[in-house]
Amino acid sequence: MADIQRVGVVGAGLMGSGIAEVHARAGADVTITEVNQPALDAGRARIEKSLQRAVKAGKLSAEDADAALGRLTFTTDIAAFADRDLVIEAVIEQEQAKVEVFRSLDKIVERPDAVFASNTSSIPIMKLGMATSRPQQVIGIHFFNPVPVLPLVELVPSLLTGEDTVKRADEHVTGSLGKTVIRSQDRAGFIVNALLVPYLLSAIRMIESGFASAEDIDRGMELGTAHPMGPLRLSDLIGLDTIKAIAESMYEEFKEPLYSPPPLLLRMVDAGLLGKKSGRGFYSYS
């Protein structure tokens, strides 16, 4: 695992736990942190379940799953990140929350050439870089959900990211994690969400206007265009709060009406109907 051996992941939600898992499976020493013990425990349970799934599918031996778990340290103390070579922030998609994480990491991480990455989908990397004293070491490394399954990573340097940081991040993601990298300019939504989110919002507007049912919209895209899941099931998988946050960042950046979150999405988030992770979104999960 090249020069990046010790990895820290901030946030043990859907994305953070997946990011920690793929690193541990690749042999890295991983520390993962959350704001409180229940959130940390939920992250650990998610990783254990995903590892078991890989073992059942014959993708991973039981010994390798145990070894991966053994490489993970769970803590609520972000000070444990002092010796990390790479830190990846994967907290909620809110600019202020992310800025605060980068401010703390800048004080805590001691290694002078450590790479500071964000898994943000839509918040400009420059804003996170400027929260630190070393914006040349800050880069977007954006994974896709489910992280252990989807091979893509978007690499997003800001105007101030150094070439050395880009090279090390690229080598780490392709060489050590075996993912495929595409590069994007530092614009809200990058490449994939700039295309995906207006599509998901259009599907939500279709339901809102009574045009078609969620089931028919999804079936249409699954059987008519061979997508693995339709836009509403995919929205439930990503999380409706996350889609709202991405749409808001993109709308703020471009003022493009297509990016503006429709009222139905806002009301569902107000109601706590966040999709698969909360048990109900456009579909129910029990």
Ligand X SMILES: C[C@H](O)CC(=O)SCCNC(=O)CCNC(=O)[C@H](O)C(C)(C)COP(=O)(O)OP(=O)(O)OC[C@H]1O[C@@H](n2cnc3c(N)ncnc32)[C@H](O)[C@@H]1OP(=O)(O)O
Min dist. Cβ of residue 123 to ligand X (A): 11
**Position 53 contacts ligand X (CB under 6 A):** yes
The pattern of x and - marking residues 160 through 189 that bind ligand X according to CB under 6 A reads ------------------------------
Nearer to ligand X, 73 or 145 (CB): 145
Q: Using CB atoms within 10 A of its CB, is residue 153 exposed (0-12), middle (13-18) or buried (19+)?
A: buried
The only residue of 36, 38, 57, 163 in contact with ligand X, by rule CB under 6 A: 57
Per CB under 6 A, the segment of 110-118, 212-220, 227-235, 278-286 that binds ligand X is: 227-235
Taking the C-alpha atoms of residue 141 and residue 81, their distance in angstroms, rounded to an integer, is 18
Angle at 157 between CA 153 and CA 158, to 5 degrees: 140
Among 154, 155, 161, smallest CA distance to 128 is for 161
The yes-or-no answer on residue 286 being catalytic is no
Min dist. Cβ of residue 23 to ligand X (A): 15
**Position 226 contacts ligand X (CB under 6 A):** no
| Footprint of ligand X on 75-114 (CB under 6 A) | none
Among 238, 200, 244, 240, smallest CA distance to 218 is for 200
The only residue of 31, 121, 137, 161 in contact with ligand X, by rule CB under 6 A: 121
Residue with smallest beta-carbon separation from ligand X: 121
The yes-or-no answer on residue 278 being catalytic is no
The pattern of x and - marking residues 122 through 161 that bind ligand X according to CB under 6 A reads ----------------------xxx-xxx-----------
The yes-or-no answer on residue 145 being catalytic is no
Residue 275 CA to chain centroid, in angstroms? 16
Q: Which helix (H) or strand (E) holds 264?
A: helix 263-270
160, 191 in Cβ contact below 8 A? no
Min dist. Cβ of residue 56 to ligand X (A): 8
The CB density around residue 231, as the number of other CB atoms within 10 Å, is 24
Query: In the structure encoding, which two tokens stand for residue 44, read together?
Result: 């650990």
| Footprint of ligand X on 200-219 (CB under 6 A) | none
Catalytic position from the list 17, 50, 118, 121: 121
| Total number of residues that touch ligand X (CB under 6 A) | 18
The yes-or-no answer on residue 142 being catalytic is yes
Min dist. Cβ of residue 59 to ligand X (A): 5
Phi/psi region, residue 58 (left: phi>0; alpha: psi -120 to 50; beta: rest), is: left
For residues 111-127, one letter each, b for 16 or more C-beta atoms within 10 angstroms of the residue's C-beta and e for the rest, the string is eeebbbbbbbbbbbbbb
Nearer to ligand X, 2 or 229 (CB): 229
Q: Which residues are catalytic?
A: 121, 142, 154, 193
Instruction: Please report, as ranges, the residues that interact with ligand X according to CB under 6 A.
Output: 50, 53, 57, 59, 121, 144-146, 148-150, 193, 196, 228-229, 234, 238, 242
